[in-house]
Chains A and B, each alone.
Chain A
Amino acid sequence: DQQVKQNSPSLSVQEGRISILNCDYTNSMFDYFLWYKKYPAEGPTFLISISSIKDKNEDGRFTVFLNKSAKHLSLHIVPSQPGDSAVYFCAALVTDSWGKFQFGAGTQVVVTP
């Protein structure tokens, strides 16, 4: 039962433009959401997170938006840079559930010159 879904396996975007990655979830108990970035042959690294009490969190070029009623979150990267080419995972958490993260399948982002 996939509780966190990333329906776009890949995204190609031109350098300097906006990348928008989407994530949907089914479990209304999730109260914390994270985005991880993964380069080949490396482990995922934390990018940005958002609590369910907020609808937006911004960190430099990265902004995460949360729509609780739609059970949807998105990651915006503006402007996209070649170094952003990676796989991005959405993760969700019920914060009193011993930290058991549920991950989406990932979206491969390719930023072209």
Chain B
Amino acid sequence: NAGVTQTPKFRILKIGQSMTLQCAQDMNHNYMYWYRQDPGMGLKLIYYSVGAGITDKGEVPNGYNVSRSTTEDFPLRLELAAPSQTSVYFCASSSSEAGNTEAFFGQGTRLTVV
């Protein structure tokens, strides 16, 4: 039972490079999220999706893009990486069924931009 799978686990990028963080879930959840966690801070919502084809911005979307072509996958794209994007990124998913409010998280991607 894989849950939420993120790849890669670690990545070092040079300023100006781009990359895609992959996220897949096998729980048939409608809701998916991307968070970033900076040292000493809580998780900040970057983008979220309520279903395939539907995405929207969270609190800190600048510098990122997402797509949701399938229920399972929710990749996060970084264009023109900047040092301010050095962070740990977590993908999560949750069910849209009433009463199921728990979010399940992936193991995270530690990204360093140098």
Contacts and interface: CB of A to CB of B under 8 A. Distances in A.
Interface stretch (A59-67, A75-83, A93-101): A93-101
A100 B96 CA distance: 12
Contacts of B102: 34, 46, 49
Given A34-B102, A46-B102, A93-B101, A105 B108 contact: no
Interface residues of B, number: 26
B48 A98 contact: yes
The A interface, classified by DSSP as helix, strand, loop or mixed, is loop
A44 B90 contact: yes
The B interface, classified by DSSP as helix, strand, loop or mixed, is strand
Contact of B43 (A9, A49, A89): A89
Contact of B42 (A4, A34, A98): A4
Contacts, number: 63
Interface residues of A, number: 26
Contacts of A49: 101-102
Contacts of B45: 100-101
B61 to A, nearest CB: 13
Contacts of B43: 44, 89, 101, 103
Interface in A1-56: 2, 4, 6, 9, 32, 34, 36, 41-46, 49
Contacts of A6: 42
Nearest to A89: B42
Given A103-B42, A105-B40, A106-B42, A46 B104 contact: yes
Interface of B: 4, 31, 33, 35, 40-45, 48, 50, 56, 58, 90, 92, 94, 96, 101-108
Interface of A: 2, 4, 6, 9, 32, 34, 36, 41-46, 49, 89, 91, 93, 95, 98-101, 103-106
Among all A-B residue pairs, the 4 with the closest Cβ atoms: A43-B105, A103-B42, A103-B43, A105-B42
